[in-house]
A and B are shown apart, each in its own frame.
Chain A
Amino acid sequence: MTNPICEVTNTLRFVSEAISSGRLVHPRCRQRAEEVAKLVGDISWGRGGPEHCGAIENLARSLVEEGPDESCVQLGREILASLTEHREAFESHIETHNCPTGECVKLAPAPCQMACPAGIDVPSYLTLIGMGRDAEATEIIREDNPFPWVCGLVCTNPCEFMCVRGRMDEPISIKYLKGFAAERAMSEMRYENPPKAPDNGRKVCMIGAGPAGMTAAYYLALKGYRVTIIEALPVPGGMMMVGIPRYRLPREVIDRETGMIESLGVEFRYNTRLGKDVTLEQLREEGFEAFMVAIGAHSAFKLMIPGEDDYPQVINAIDLLRRVALGDRHLPGERVVIVGGGNVAIDAARTCIRLGCREVTVAYRRTRSEMPAHEEEVIQAEDEGVRFAFLTVPVAVEGSDGTLTALRCLRAELGQPDEQGRRRPVPVKDSDHPLKADAVISSIGQVIDRTGLTTLEDLRWSKRSTITVNTVTMETSVEGVFAAGDVVSGPATVVEAIGGGKKAAEAIDRYLQGIPQPKWPQVPVRRRRLECLEVPASTKMIPSRPHMPLLNTDRRRITFQQVELGYSENAVREEARRCLRCDICRRCGLCVEICRDKMGVDALQLGYLNFDHPSPTDLRTTSERCIACGACAANCPNEAMVIKDENGERCLRLCGTVLNRLRLEYCEQCGAVLGPARYHDYIAKRTKGVSPLVEGRSLCVQCARKIAAGRHAEILPAQ
């Protein structure tokens, strides 16, 4: 897990303490300690370079070796110990410009980036999208995720759940903006691969062309490896292709992004199943030095009810979706019952509607609010005519003469919560009833098909029947074999597989180069520190994200055309401007505190800054009260709040949002800036009890002093 203490800050703290305590009596020693503090401070404030750690180490060593007294030696040892123990943390600060604890003020990360399993620098690419620079935005995304377009359509967007804007009104529509940028970049032919390192001649093999396998292939190919992917299916994409239906993710999207990876020289071998068409030994003989197992979870749990195996019309959702994705458009039955409440159940139901099933019912044990499926997709399914039978527990499959006729179910009610906090369905007595059906589709979860991996005897498996790996490096118990994706996590999301693939690529590179593996998980990298977009407070306050236009329902019921039609360009640019830039503002609330408690002005109504108890936010009211004193900006540790004089006005901005603009007044003597009238009113009100202000003149500090001095000057004749 991530270390909860920032070791860089900690080191800085104890070195500074040693300096200020007066313990270091020898001047040379004190100077060295100060130099260490300066270098550690550099790292903490994002100014660290590749030589910083070495320089700190040398200084600490000279403290130990040259003393001259015990306190110096002691401090030197402490610094060395901290640096040796936490070298990774120091280097991570320098390389990623990200301090996950947020203790290093300038390096405090945005919550959206930390929430993303692939660690994408969300604020940076949103800012570029806001500027209309879609190709550059795509480039930033691809530094962490080679599938911006796919993720822009089907990601489960954990970033949006952490979005700070969500505390204010609604989270930024991060997912769709990403999709827009990638689509636009692709359409403008500006979706490009970054430059590739020269070929290093070493061969690596990925097993499975899903998101995890292709992501690892992408990053390894960029590093100069010769990568081959073997894939059991005749198509690339894994679950993206055969799990996610086409109306959510068009094939072209997968094909184009796969094409980008292929153009880096990655070789794809389709229709090649490990353990059947090829063995690991054969691959080793071919010269592959490292492997990554990313075969996904393509088998299904069984319902475990009587009659399940007696009728061919009982199928599982994964098989149905794969069949349909590969081109088979036969309907499973006229009247279909789908058992389950996850995204796959909804996908299967909506697919059945499109295949032409007359009646499609999703039977789920709990209620709508407990459904693991996405709310939006449930609504879209209902719009298309999918019916739901909630609190319905299947108990048996019934039929006659080898033909399925019904799924026998019990009605249930919600009882006590289980260990995961979900309320357990309890069957109601005598509630046995049949749901008429001629096909039953089970969708109660996927499992890993181990058959191809049985020859790997040393491979360790977890209790959940997933491959056990070191979660930092994705190494399995077999040397040179790594694993990522659903085969490690169990059925999960595209973006988690991408994150795993990226981690594995880094570890495979280290393994083959003989570099020690990291101890701590990789920290997401701050890719850019972009200027904030200037936005008027009223624009920033536009409360809701744009509505996603959908294909009309009739067409949705008969075709596999993409349902979500995408935002208009205007909506995208406007939406990007709603971003609060949490990579710059760390939401410490010092500005609000100072304005309210110290200045007594209370012009900042930024309720969203408080994580635990958010109160209302209104960026527009600042201009009603703000006197533009600049105390908020002077105390902002991260230059998020900025006050600047420009074009005859004093302007206060928070991460680019213009909070206030006041016309300036000038020194009547020299023309220097004095500040706005409202600021002077504030002072006059406070000082009116003292005595009338001198002559009522508007003078700057310098002129006030000069004029006062001139009054006292005595230029006397020479004696």
Chain B
Amino acid sequence: MMNRETREMSKYYIFQDSRNCIGCHSCEVACKSNKGLSTGPRPCQIITIGPKFVGGLPKSAYTFMPCFHCENPWCVAACPTGAMQKREKDGIVFVDESLCVGCKTCMSACPWGAPQWNPEKGKVVKCDYCMDRVDEGLKPACVTVCTTHCLHFGTPEEIPQVRRERYARAMTSLE
């Protein structure tokens, strides 16, 4: 259905080397604490897949689900108030809280469940790559705390080629 090329169209990209992720949820915690959120909303979330038996051993995978900052976002189209916007300079999709009236149309429109409900404020909250931090030259909160350094933030060109390298190594055994 969807392919990555069409939806990860912001200037930035968070790459998760899921192979190294241990599912500690530090990213989620740092995200929520950075945005001052109570229980409920998770602008980014680690989804546990599995466990499955692989080669006789139980294995799980952990997928990092932030907002993908689509090229042509459903949420922005659905928002009647103009609160949900795509930032001109770098394509970050964010919500201007002062304009949000809490109609939740963005939440219903997003195929990935990225916009989240903040019941304390009665408004929507979502991953904006911590754009205030980004503007200061910092990385998003989730990336800075990742214990296994499996989250990488940057432009697509800067993303490490870990998977390709790992694959190559797996293919060519020197033994």
- Give chain A's interface residues, CB within 8 Å of chain B: 594, 598-600, 629-631, 634-635, 674-675, 679-680, 682-683, 686-687, 689-691, 693-695, 699-706, 708-710, 712-719
Closest chain B residue, CB of each to CB of A685: B78
Cα distance, A683 to B107, chains bound together (Å): 10
Q: Does the CB pair A704–B49 fall under 8 Å?
A: no
Q: Does the CB pair A713–B63 fall under 8 Å?
A: yes
Q: Does the CB pair A690–B55 fall under 8 Å?
A: no
Cβ contact of B110, chosen from A594, A631, A704, A716, cutoff 8 A: A704
A and B contact pairs by CB, cutoff 8 A, 28 listed:
A594-B101, A598-B80, A599-B80, A635-B101, A682-B105, A683-B108, A686-B80, A687-B77, A687-B109, A689-B77, A690-B77, A691-B72, A693-B111, A701-B113, A701-B117, A704-B110, A705-B65, A708-B2, A708-B111, A709-B63, A710-B63, A712-B63, A713-B47, A713-B61, A716-B54, A717-B54, A717-B55, A718-B59
Task: Please indicate the chain B residues that have their CB under 8 angstroms from the CB of A704 in the complex.
Answer: 110-113
Closest chain B residue, CB of each to CB of A694: B111
Closest chain B residue, CB of each to CB of A688: B77
Closest chain A residue, CB of each to CB of B6: A691
Task: Please indicate the chain A residues that have their CB under 8 angstroms from the CB of B77 in the complex.
Answer: 686-687, 689-690
Interface residues of B in 84-128 (CB under 8 A from A): 101-105, 107-117, 122-123
Task: Please indicate the chain B residues that have their CB under 8 angstroms from the CB of A694 in the complex.
Answer: 1-2, 111
Task: Please indicate the chain A residues that have their CB under 8 angstroms from the CB of B81 in the complex.
Answer: 598-599
Q: Does the CB pair B73–A599 fall under 8 Å?
A: no
Cα distance, A634 to B112, chains bound together (Å): 24
Q: Does the CB pair A690–B59 fall under 8 Å?
A: no
Known contacts being A599-B103, A718-B54, is A686 close to B78, with CB within 8 Å?
A: yes
Q: Which of A702, A709, A717 has the most CB of B within 10 A?
A: A709
Is B60 an interface position by the 8 A CB rule?
Answer: yes
Is B149 an interface position by the 8 A CB rule?
Answer: no
Task: Please indicate the chain A residues that have their CB under 8 angstroms from the CB of B133 in the complex.
Answer: none
Cα distance, A506 to B81, chains bound together (Å): 53
Cα distance, A691 to B57, chains bound together (Å): 41
Q: Does the CB pair B111–A635 fall under 8 Å?
A: no
Cα distance, A635 to B97, chains bound together (Å): 13
Closest 5 A/B residue pairs (Cβ): A634-B102, A709-B47, A705-B113, A701-B113, A713-B49
Known contacts being A599-B81, A634-B101, is A718 close to B57, with CB within 8 Å?
A: yes
Task: Please indicate the chain A residues that have their CB under 8 angstroms from the CB of B73 in the complex.
Answer: 690
Q: Does the CB pair B113–A702 fall under 8 Å?
A: yes
Q: Does the CB pair A701–B80 fall under 8 Å?
A: no
Give chain B's interface residue range (CB within 8 Å of chain A).
Answer: 35 or more
Q: 1/0 per residue B1-40: CB within 8 Å of A?
A: 1100000000000000011000000000000000000000
Distance (whole angstroms) from the CB of B142 to the closest CB of chain A: 15
Task: Please indicate the chain A residues that have their CB under 8 angstroms from the CB of B78 in the complex.
Answer: 683, 686-687
Q: Which of B49, B108, B111, B115 has the most CB of A within 10 A?
A: B108
Cα distance, A630 to B102, chains bound together (Å): 7
Q: Does the CB pair B122–A634 fall under 8 Å?
A: yes
Is B170 an interface position by the 8 A CB rule?
Answer: yes
Task: Please indicate the chain A residues that have their CB under 8 angstroms from the CB of B170 in the complex.
Answer: 719
Cα distance, A149 to B113, chains bound together (Å): 60
Distance (whole angstroms) from the CB of B120 to the closest CB of chain A: 12
Closest chain A residue, CB of each to CB of B18: A714
Task: Please indicate the chain B residues that have their CB under 8 angstroms from the CB of A634 in the complex.
Answer: 101-103, 122-123
Q: Does the CB pair A690–B103 fall under 8 Å?
A: no
Cα distance, A467 to B54, chains bound together (Å): 98
Cα distance, A233 to B103, chains bound together (Å): 67
Closest chain A residue, CB of each to CB of B4: A712
Known contacts being A598-B101, A704-B113, A705-B47, is A715 close to B65, with CB within 8 Å?
A: no
Cα distance, A687 to B60, chains bound together (Å): 35
Known contacts being A709-B65, A713-B63, A715-B59, is A630 close to B104, with CB within 8 Å?
A: yes
Task: Please indicate the chain B residues that have their CB under 8 angstroms from the CB of A710 in the complex.
Answer: 47, 49, 63
